[in-house]
Structure 1
Amino acid sequence: MGKRQHTNINEAVELTQNRKNEESEETDSDYSPSQSSKNRETLRLENPQKRKKRRLQSDQPARLSNPNEQAGGDTNQIHPRSSHDIQSPSAIRLGLLRWYTGVHASRGMPWRKPYDPSQGPEERAQRAYEVWVSEIMLQQTQVATVIPYYSRWMSQFPTIHSLASATVDEVNGLWKGLGYYSRASRLLAGAKKAVANYGGRLPDNAKDMEANIPGIGRYSAGAICSIAYGERVPVLDGNVNRLLSRLLALHAPPKAKATLDILWAAASILVELDPVGSTESQDHDASATPMEQTQYPGDINQALIELGSTVCKVREPDCGSCPLRPWCRGFITAGPEGIIPEIIPDIEDACTLCEPLPEGSTITSYPMKVERKKAREELDVVNVIEWRARTNPTERHFLLVRRPEGGLLAGLYEFPTSSNISKATSRNAMAGIPNKLLAGLIVPTVLTRDTKRHGSINTDNLQIKSTQFVGDVVHVFSHIKKTYRAQWVILEGGEAPPPLRLADDGRRGKRVKNHTAENLIDGKVSTSLLPIGAMWVKLKDVGNVNMGTGVVKVWNLTRDLWERELSGA
């Protein structure tokens, strides 16, 4: 194989060198010193596209001049746009399905089942629900982590109707620890809409599903409808994107529309069947597996996802075991056997989308890397507010408020928090924050007139006994680096926790921006989320409440503090 490739390279270089000689003659003639000034001016003002064409023509042979170029050398040869088209789709499809036959059950995914064309509408709709749950859970989460969560979910919500009748607290309770909680709320919203508008069935085509079910985009709709309903629609998640970028040697801005159009087109070609009677449609052999014979779209799409996830990995891809290696242009271009340059019959066909590959490129240079935006940093003051009965200090309750149904950590509980305050906020300023928060949370009848006016808690029945700094917890979301600065607040008074109020006058869940704790203390504006639900929780029950991972870390840090104090450490 290596000898054949080097022969092709030598032939290509010879041809391009001849072309270079011809072009050099033209160039010398065009820019001869004997030219008239008029002709020189014409060339200077020529169409920019023609100048680009002329530059490409002069650059092309130089980039292909070394037939022994190895990986790590100059891999930025000019190539035709057609090199990013799928070649031999039937052969690729068959090789992919043959490989998938042997691995589809290897990771023990309970949602992965063979497609049964004899199923009726109800059975297919149930299958769509199962695939939908798995696909949403698998977003940003490893398969091994998802499996137990999926099993518990299907045990509690076996049908879309049972999910639609659930509460957000029940859904978040099952989701606890999986992260990205907005996924759970979108599943609940989607189920409610499917039951209300579609008789408890997800739409049976990707177009309607994407358009009408909350939280389902083009990828999820394609995955669900191809796997459950047998619709021939493509998928393009991160795994398939990486796989196809390497297969097509596409080194272009990954989020550009032109790049995504190429990848979606390639995925579409692979999931479609060749026309009956075509040469490729007859390219089956006697040893074809059942998957190769049926070529169900769900099998093709799942095979692409599985190959990208387990073989064509981000780092250290296992090219040696990849069934698509014979057709992988990325492997050929950046692999150990060097470059196979292509002659472009018409320079107008040159690809203008790809960016130059970095020096020392390998297969992992595809897809093109983008510089990630640095996560913005925010400081939140988290107030772990504890109420104790004055006559019975062992009776301890903690104040929790529920976040709005949309946005970050939707519907989860947290300790009263002042969000995104200035990093220059002093400890003294922080210590005053609980006064204003409590003034907004406790029923006004419990507070004196002075409390309402100045936002302070200090009555015969209720007062802040102490405010103690706990420490910092850093928690990184996909786009935010949060520092939770925790303080432990002890509130005393009365024989029962003070009654709480909810946000009213249409401001439910509204966030009011602020940047200084001093403003909060003065009562000018508030950074806190007006709670859509607030409650006192007994000490023994706090760990069972649906809270985000960062808030759980704050709780554990606070417990560690008082346990050390009790032990005298």
Structure 2
Amino acid sequence: MAFADHMEEATAPMEGHSFPHPISTHVIAKPQPLRAALLQWYAGVHEDRGMPWRKPYNASFGPAERAQRAYEVWISEIMLQQTQVATVIPYYNKWIAKFPTIRDLAAADIDTVNSLWKGLGYYSRAARLLAGAKKAVEEFGGRLPDNAESMEAKIPGIGRYSAGAICSIAYNQCVPVVSLYPSLTRVLALHAQPKAKQTSNVLWAAATAMVEGSDKPGDLNQAMIEVGSTVCKVRDPSCSSCPIRPHCRGYQLSTTEKASETAEVPDIEELCTLCESLPHLKGSSSLVTAFPMKAERKKAREELDLVNVVEWRHGDQRWFLLVRRPEGGLLAGLTEFPTSPNASKNISPSESQTVSHTLLSQLLKPRLAPLSNTRRKDPEGGTDLRIIQIKSAGDVVHVFSHIKKTYRVQWIILEGGGDSPPELNLNAPNIVGAQKKAGARTGKPKSSKKSEASTGELPMATWTLLEQVAEANITTGVQKVWRLARTLWDSKSDSE
């Protein structure tokens, strides 16, 4: 029995009940009508949102021109991951102006890449773009591979989705993209665990059936993405204006009214065992929003980090200590203030000060006087490096996708140690050497090679002038920390 016929005899399911249906419900056996509806609609809307990377496929392009299009699509696809189009457009334009070709990107360094990425979040994406560009130049003659299988296998950060999007759009290859999740699950009326392998298999099989044999696979994939972005939205789908509504099995299910008892039950061999029960939304278009099945979200783990905004003063000069995070893991390669991660939630102020003193004693080469020695002036005229103030600035909460971070901020002022910012301890275990940059001071002679070399797992450390801190490659969370710390001295200056 055809799905539409079956729907005429079925009602919207009762709560906790899913009508029996054949597994063929979730198969696109005749993709031509759906394909034609998508392409006709897309032809009229593809320019509406002004995306600079969205260009028609040009069959006259040679290999070099197609490779350039692949590079442009690649950048846009990675930027668009978990980020809205309106946000991405200015970032994309700046990126292409700075790195117009993949070779330009490959020649860059992570600091430059991260500076362009600042504000987009998920910084590992930027690092993988740089790594992928370098690999393309070193191993593929400065071009991305021209097929999805090799692209996914060989280029860091390119998965099945991105490879399908790039190769269908730039190379006109008939490779699938499981586009924005709700639209395809609604077309298939698939109400199954979203992270289950069987669910993924059904979706990829449907996407493959839809694109195979198409003359315009890139347009077709983009059309499905555009429907999901602008019409078939997660919470508020515009079913009345949807170009594929006649082909949407989820919508057909939401508009049936007859009793389910009259529905013909498929043979047990053909019965779908993947779908789970639907909510009770009888005869309501709201049932469409039941697709896809909502995944249980894991509660983000909570962590407390002690963040030290460390200032060294000499005369009118104010220098702040910044460190670079390791090249792997969360916020890889980005800059932050010296931080002690995963502190006890019940840590006391005195314990926080002790932890910070220990961290600074590792990072700084000159001997750091004990915490008890906080005299602003040394009566014996010594030059010992000492902490003259530790002041709490409060907490900053910053939520990542899987971690809820509380940054407990302390403003620490150092004095002494000479006329230059204290030298960094490049030889201590787990300390990474400081790298000289414009506006940064390491206290290490220019002839030293160690200032360029990594000697452990902790990030690179540098002294940076007050007015240049905000321009460093710091994340949104670190910017919050910096603004909070500044309130301590800014408010004091205002009051004076």
TM-score interval (norm. to shorter): 0.7 to 0.9
Shift of 1:502: 3.7
Matched, 1:270 2:194: no
Q: Is the 8 A contact 1:164 1:195 kept in 2?
A: yes
Q: Would you say 1:376 and 2:318 are equivalent positions?
A: no
Residues 1:269 and 1:455: Cα distance change in structure 2 (over 3 Å): farther
Deviations 1:369-425 (A, max 9, x none): 111000000000100000001xx1x21000000001111111110000000111010
TM-score (norm 2): 0.88
Q: What is the CA-CA distance between 1:438 and the residue it aligns to?
A: 1.4
Say which of 149, 154, 161 aligns to 1:212. Answer: 154
Which residue is equivalent to 1:192?
134
User: Does the 8 Å contact 2:190/2:275 carry over to 1?
Assistant: yes
How far is 1:296 from its partner? 1.1
> Superposed, which structure 2 residues align to 1:276-291 within 5 Å?
none
**CA deviation vs aligned residue, 1:284-312 (integer Å, no higher than 9, x gap):** xxxxxxxxxxx311001000111111111
Whole-Å separation in 2 of the counterparts to 1:495 and 1:501: 17
The residue that corresponds to 2:251 in the other structure is 331
Q: CA separation in 2, counterparts of 1:89 and 1:273?
A: 10
- Whole-Å separation in 2 of the counterparts to 1:84 and 1:187: 35
For residues 6 and 305 of structure 2, what CA distance do their matches in structure 1 show? 65
The AA in structure 2 aligned to 1:563 is D
Aligned to 2:313: 388
Q: Which residues of 2 match residues 174-185 of structure 1 at below 5 A?
A: 174-185=116-127
Instruction: Check whether the contact 2:21–2:266 (CA below 8 A) recurs between aligned residues.
Output: no
Partner residue in 1 for 2:443: none
Q: How far is the alpha carbon of 1:568 from its aligned partner?
A: 2.1
Q: Which amino acid aligns with 2:238?
A: D
- The counterpart of 1:431, out of the listed 344, 353, 375, is 353
* Structure 1 SS opposite 2:467: helix
SS at match of 1:214: coil
- 1:101-120 alignment runs, 5 A limit: 101-120=43-62
Distance 1:480 1:131 in 2: 30
Structure 1: distance between partners of 2:258 and 2:494? 68
Distance in 1 separating the partners of 2:120 and 2:321: 24
The alpha carbon displacement at 1:456 in A equals 9.3
Task: Indicate how the Cα distance of structure 1 residues 545 and 247 shifts in structure 2: closer, same or farther if over 3 A, else same.
Answer: same
What do the CA deviations read for 1:526-569 (whole angstroms, capped 9, x no partner)?
Answer: xxx95331100000101100101111001001111211112228
- Give the Cα separation in 1 of the matches to 2:71 and 2:358: 46
C-alpha distance after superposition, 1:115-139 (max 9, x if no partner)? 0111100001111000000000000
Q: Which letter does structure 1 place at the counterpart of 2:423?
A: P
Residue of structure 2 equivalent to 1:460: 383
SS in 2 for 1:432: helix
Residue 253 of structure 1 aligns with an amino acid whose one-letter code is Q
Match of 2:291 among 366, 370, 375: 366
Percent identity, aligned pairs only, is 58
Which of 354, 366, 379 is the matching residue for 2:275?
Answer: 354
Equivalent in the alignment of 2:68: 126
SS at 2:149 equivalent: helix
Partners of 1:219 and 1:235 within 8 A in 2: yes
Encode CA deviations 1:177-210: one digit per residue, 9 max, x unaligned.
Answer: 1111111000000000000000000000000000
Residues 456-498 of structure 1, C-alpha deviation per residue, up to 9 Å, x if partnerless? 9997331100100001100000000000000000000121111
Partner letter of residue 308 of structure 1? G
Match among 397, 401, 405 for residue 319 of structure 2: 397
Work out the CA distance in 2 between the residues paired with 1:366 and 1:7. 19
Which one of the candidate residues 496, 506, 509 is aligned to 2:420?
Answer: 496
Amino acid aligned to 2:213: L
Report what 1:164 is aligned to: 106
Query: 1:460 and 1:505 mapped to 2: Cα distance?
Result: 25
Distance 1:339 1:475 in 2: 50
Show the counterpart of 2:169: 227
Q: 459, 475, 480: which one pairs with 1:548? A: 475
Structure with max Cα Rg: 1
Distance 1:74 1:398, change over 3 A: closer
Unaligned runs of 5+ in 2: 376-381, 434-455
Is the contact made by 2:114 and 2:123 (CA closer than 8 Å) also made in structure 1? yes
- Shift of residue 273 of structure 1? 1.9
Q: Is the 8 A contact 1:71 1:338 kept in 2?
A: no
Aligned AA (1:368): M
- Whichever residue aligns with residue 215 of structure 1, its letter is G
Question: Which residue in the other structure is 2:450 paired with?
Answer: none
Q: 1:440 and 1:505 mapped to 2: Cα distance?
A: 8
| Counterpart Cα distance in 2 of 1:8 and 1:256 | 26
Aligned-residue offset at 1:258: 0.8
Structure-2 separation of matches of 1:335 and 1:405:
53
1:159-184 Cα shifts (integer Å, max 9, x gaps): 00010010100000100111111110
Matching residue of 2:442: none
Structure 1: where are the runs of 5+ without partners?
A: 13-63, 275-294, 510-528
> Which residue does the alignment assign to 2:401?
478
Give 2:223's match in structure 1, choosing from 298, 303, 316. 303
Instruction: Provide Cα deviations, 1:47-77, integer angstroms capped at 9, x if missing partner.
Output: xxxxxxxxxxxxxxxxx6xxxx458767621
Q: Is the partner of 1:194 in helix, strand or coil?
A: helix
TM normalised by structure 1 equals 0.77
Task: Read off the aligned partner of 2:384 and give its amino acid letter.
Answer: N
**Partner of 2:67: helix, strand, or coil?**
helix
CA drift of 1:94 comes to: 0.3
- Larger fraction in helix: 1
Moved more, 432-441 or 134-143: 432-441
**Contact residue 502 and residue 533 of structure 1 kept, 8 A:** no
Cα distance in 2 for partners of 1:500, 1:433 equals: 18
Report the CA distance between 1:337 and its aligned residue.
5.6
| Root-mean-square deviation (Å) | 2.5
Task: Tell whether the 8 Å contact from 1:235 to 1:301 is kept in structure 2 after alignment.
Answer: yes
Taking a change above 3 Å as real, the CA distance of residues 420 and 74 of structure 1, as seen in their structure-2 partners, is: closer
- Take 2:84 and 2:31, find their aligned partners in 1: how far apart are those partners? 30
Query: CA separation in 1, counterparts of 2:394 and 2:49?
Result: 41
